[in-house]
Structure 1
């Protein structure tokens, strides 16, 4: 890319073209450009978006921006095409002074995700400053007695440019007495002296007017001039002289007032008053020199009278005159160069920019959190700054460029463990003693939905009495979520399934916000003894997370079913039983069979014979638990031919429920009974069926009694073991459910696992007892039916 620049100086017009070298570096994420100073507004610098690997179409959406620390907006980027161009006039001398390297450092920041690039734009010097002398004219007083080859130092010119543009050459206007002698210590430091070629003659010429011209090495060349007004003196032919023409002194910037810089000593070959010397700063010395330093006119001692600051001025150069006291004073000259040495008197400075907060807790390692820039006005080791991060955290500092650091996520973070990190960035320089500065950075962690709602237990066991009121509250589930805001907002719902032929939602419901579980209809123990279902807790995050808890609802029985008499004694019509008058006491006349739909004690039935009005002592009785109607004495004629018996059947519930069975007993004469009995006996003897049936029933009865006894003993032992076991011997695993009891008013839970085990043992014992009683009852009923059938056969 080519740039053109046009400048003018007086009536001279100069036009030249300069090819600008543009280099894009990849190392350390730096891009380097170069541009001429004084370039016009809009001058092309580089395709920054392309060189940084960014698409032009994403510059606006990713908030592309350029930050120039401590600089004006000399450069700007067109976000429509990604071109970096000159925005305002750049004066290299104003920007960097005489520094050999002048650069503008830009920070290019883009978001989504956050990326930081460093761009260095070097400002190239052009020859836009002519040499300048400190004054328009210099006056010299030269005695006519000075010999040829005498030297008279002149104040040289200065050029604000650098390099070849500041390389000066000097020329003197044509004359017969003086020539120039240039002593070069280096390209930038030249001693210009006026040398006398032949003796002066004051009577012939009392003064000389010369032009000293300084020309720089730029293309085109620029010049500066100064008039030399030389006055020829006719007295005092020996000037004071110094031991050296130039003195170099080094002094610390923290030197106290009155500190001696140097003691000068000049000599004069004359005698008397002509050798007495007075010391003074040269008339061309700047006001800064006279403000910072003081010179004793008699002793030549130069001392400090104002504070020196290396960061403001690191070197002073001035001329000292030694003037004798002759009638026509003569002056000797020397140059003093004072170099100010840096001390570590400036602490580092920190600036935290481009914060990308808060940080999501699922942010990957390597995510850039913030950009930190450091600086130190000192030089050398005193200006070398290193940064550290404290306290220990999942973050680290990464040096991305000179004096730039990035705060980067090193490992994963968890908001539930640490929601905010208070970080301190410490910048420490390399001085001795070292100085440091700190900056606090508060990094907050944004929540993501990474925790599912959790219940205190995986399952619960509830006990609910049957016939509860519809809509009664039986339990409350509660889940907690350590996340924040909507990620921790928990709602509850049933995990739908079918219970038999009906959906679960027809039995129970759960409130979505409170977690309260309600029974929608009265529960019936006889229909449903155990209801098992799950409740789901779901948060409001995206995507939502959920967990389930299992509920076991045992429906406790209530005495809500009366006993029911089974055929043949069921119904309104009584059954007639035939009994011979010759039967003895203990003869079984009939057996009442009844069942109860309840369970446990509510289904344990007992039988009672109701007394008849107007009848004496009945010859019959009924078994309390068997329901067998038998004779308690021998029958006689006073008992009558026919009796009606009312049997009351009741359960053991609270309150107990009852049923009545009616049996009519008809008495037969002895002969009829014997005849029938002999017939039946003869038939049974022939077939052997009756005897075999009785044997089978007896075998079944013995087996049932043994089984029931074993089951009762085993249940009793298990109950005793559970009763006596310690809490440490119980089951306390994470999957153990907690039993809960609920009634129509509310719900309660056992607080100890021991009570749960005892309750389970008691329930097992009651169940075993009830089961044993039922088995024994059915076997006994079978035996009685068989016996009654045999008796009826005999009666026939």
Structure 2
């Protein structure tokens, strides 16, 4: 039986009414297994009973059971053989959707009774190369002036791959071209993207359009690939492109920033005259859909504002690129990159989870007997995520930390009967409850 208690902002404690008995043993060691994703249903992972040193004959009687994760029962234990087996195929990309995670773990507890023991199991889900790289758009359109100097760079739409590690995008290749080549770069999260580089001056009168093919290849065996077409339209001379005040911006922003709040006002200038110096701002293809959904960009004045809730626990770094394009007949563009770093606020309440308890408690129960196991957690980071847990001083119980974030509730003094202490003593413990209060250290 498990209960989750969330502390309200106006009340820094919760009360749990329970009657306990029996002794509970918890193990701080973690049993670790590694399996590839997409294993067939019924596939055996290991003999869990043997690994935990349990007698297979007692598994049914002791009611061995595993956690259910997010309403899914991925694994179960054969109580006849003690084998841990796959109940439902595990898709690593579904289970661990974040591309920043290089490892994917399924953590669960195995519980047995008579006496109660809780075992921590950690299952590492290994990636297989079951996805090919693909581009967000099949075609990338670029307008490049014939006056653009050699060596100029242009950001390309990067490919994405749901796989991770060596199975994700490894490199890019460009079809043969006299005027262009690419340079592969690595992003903050390890993702690969390519910049298109002009290696020979363009001549619109000689060739007005260049058609190229960009291929993304992953590092799997065998490798998988995806392609996108690059269509370069050569523009007649509009001498100067807009330029930003800086090429890169690093900005700190607090989570829960109010909607509509100004994050930064970008400013690009163009030394040309008339419509050739009028500028429109836009996000480039390098900017993720997540960043576009969270922040708005005013195309007229370059203001970036908050348009969706910012949550540090969901997303901590936003990388985006803004393009400034002039309104000349042959428009030119300048670009800058922004990195928005989200600062954590103490906006999550601590939670208490009761992992196990027994009821009732005998009056002659021995001092130092474990009668319950609870865990505490807080989604915030740093000091905002640290919690203290304690119970009322007047109760005949004490809390003892058994492992990281796990606490045992033990009997701290004898629970004597009415015969020894009279009716007042009996009245005091006739409706015994335990008040557990948890406060956050700021």
In the alignment, the residues of structure 2 paired with residue 57 and residue 168 of structure 1 have an alpha-carbon distance, to the nearest angstrom, of 50
Distance 1:165 1:428, change over 3 A: farther
Q: CA RMSD in A?
A: 2.5
Contact kept, 8 Å, 1:318 with 1:337, in 2: the verdict is yes
- 1:333 is the counterpart of 2:326: no
In the alignment, the residues of structure 2 paired with residue 72 and residue 400 of structure 1 have an alpha-carbon distance, to the nearest angstrom, of 28
**Could you list the per-position Cα deviations for residues 460-497 of structure 1 after superposition, in whole angstroms to 9, with x for gaps in the alignment?**
xxxxxxxxxxxxxxxxxxxxxxxxxxxxxxxxxxxxxx
In the alignment, the residues of structure 2 paired with residue 286 and residue 186 of structure 1 have an alpha-carbon distance, to the nearest angstrom, of 14
Tell me the secondary structure at the aligned position of residue 51 of structure 1: helix
Contact kept, 8 Å, 2:262 with 2:305, in 1: the verdict is yes
Matches within 5 A, 1:744-759: none
Report the equivalent of 2:220. 218
Aligned residues: 406
Report the equivalent of 1:165. 167
Contact kept, 8 Å, 2:155 with 2:286, in 1: the verdict is no
Return the TM-score normalized by structure 1.
Answer: 0.48
- 1:429 is the counterpart of 2:436: no
Give the 4+ runs in structure 1 shifted more than 6 A.
none
**Could you list the per-position Cα deviations for residues 188-246 of structure 1 after superposition, in whole angstroms to 9, with x for gaps in the alignment?**
15552111121222233221221111122233322222111211222313221224433
Report the equivalent of 2:82. 82
Report the equivalent of 1:381. 383
Tell me the secondary structure at the aligned position of residue 433 of structure 2: strand
Q: Which has the higher contact order (CA 8 A, sep 6+)?
A: 2
Contact kept, 8 Å, 1:391 with 1:423, in 2: the verdict is no
Report the equivalent of 2:40. 40
Tell me the secondary structure at the aligned position of residue 202 of structure 1: coil
In the alignment, the residues of structure 2 paired with residue 35 and residue 411 of structure 1 have an alpha-carbon distance, to the nearest angstrom, of 47
In the alignment, the residues of structure 1 paired with residue 278 and residue 108 of structure 2 have an alpha-carbon distance, to the nearest angstrom, of 61
In the alignment, the residues of structure 1 paired with residue 379 and residue 400 of structure 2 have an alpha-carbon distance, to the nearest angstrom, of 22
In the alignment, the residues of structure 2 paired with residue 401 and residue 225 of structure 1 have an alpha-carbon distance, to the nearest angstrom, of 50
**Could you list the per-position Cα deviations for residues 682-724 of structure 1 after superposition, in whole angstroms to 9, with x for gaps in the alignment?**
xxxxxxxxxxxxxxxxxxxxxxxxxxxxxxxxxxxxxxxxxxx
Report the equivalent of 1:316. 318
Report the equivalent of 1:49. 49
In the alignment, the residues of structure 2 paired with residue 194 and residue 287 of structure 1 have an alpha-carbon distance, to the nearest angstrom, of 22
**Could you list the per-position Cα deviations for residues 726-784 of structure 1 after superposition, in whole angstroms to 9, with x for gaps in the alignment?**
xxxxxxxxxxxxxxxxxxxxxxxxxxxxxxxxxxxxxxxxxxxxxxxxxxxxxxxxxxx
Contact kept, 8 Å, 2:265 with 2:304, in 1: the verdict is yes
More strand by share: 2
In the alignment, the residues of structure 1 paired with residue 386 and residue 223 of structure 2 have an alpha-carbon distance, to the nearest angstrom, of 40
Distance 1:137 1:398, change over 3 A: farther
Report the equivalent of 1:67. 67
Tell me the secondary structure at the aligned position of residue 168 of structure 1: strand
Partner of residue 370 from structure 1, selected from 356, 369, 372: 372
**Could you list the per-position Cα deviations for residues 425-453 of structure 1 after superposition, in whole angstroms to 9, with x for gaps in the alignment?**
223334x3xxxxxxxxxxxxxxxxxxxxx
Contact kept, 8 Å, 1:114 with 1:356, in 2: the verdict is no
Contact kept, 8 Å, 1:68 with 1:104, in 2: the verdict is no
More helix by share: 1
In the alignment, the residues of structure 2 paired with residue 388 and residue 129 of structure 1 have an alpha-carbon distance, to the nearest angstrom, of 49
Post-superposition offset of 1:122: 1.8
Distance 1:365 1:372, change over 3 A: same
Distance 1:215 1:107, change over 3 A: same
- 1:124 is the counterpart of 2:119: no
Matches within 5 A, 1:148-227: 148-166=150-168, 168-184=170-186, 188-227=190-229
Contact kept, 8 Å, 1:385 with 1:403, in 2: the verdict is no
Tell me the secondary structure at the aligned position of residue 432 of structure 2: strand
Identify unmatched segments of 5+ residues in structure 1: 1-25, 433-796
Report the equivalent of 1:395. 397
**Could you list the per-position Cα deviations for residues 537-571 of structure 1 after superposition, in whole angstroms to 9, with x for gaps in the alignment?**
xxxxxxxxxxxxxxxxxxxxxxxxxxxxxxxxxxx
Q: Radius of gyration: which is bigger?
A: 1
Distance 1:283 1:110, change over 3 A: closer
Post-superposition offset of 1:120: 1.6
In the alignment, the residues of structure 2 paired with residue 128 and residue 408 of structure 1 have an alpha-carbon distance, to the nearest angstrom, of 50
Contact kept, 8 Å, 1:167 with 1:187, in 2: the verdict is no
Post-superposition offset of 1:96: 2.0
Identify unmatched segments of 5+ residues in structure 2: 1-25, 419-424
**Could you list the per-position Cα deviations for residues 1-58 of structure 1 after superposition, in whole angstroms to 9, with x for gaps in the alignment?**
xxxxxxxxxxxxxxxxxxxxxxxxx972322222222222122222211222211111
Tell me the secondary structure at the aligned position of residue 94 of structure 1: helix
Contact kept, 8 Å, 2:281 with 2:325, in 1: the verdict is yes
Report the equivalent of 2:235. 233
Tell me the secondary structure at the aligned position of residue 360 of structure 1: coil
Matches within 5 A, 1:695-710: none
Contact kept, 8 Å, 2:169 with 2:192, in 1: the verdict is no
In the alignment, the residues of structure 1 paired with residue 156 and residue 265 of structure 2 have an alpha-carbon distance, to the nearest angstrom, of 24
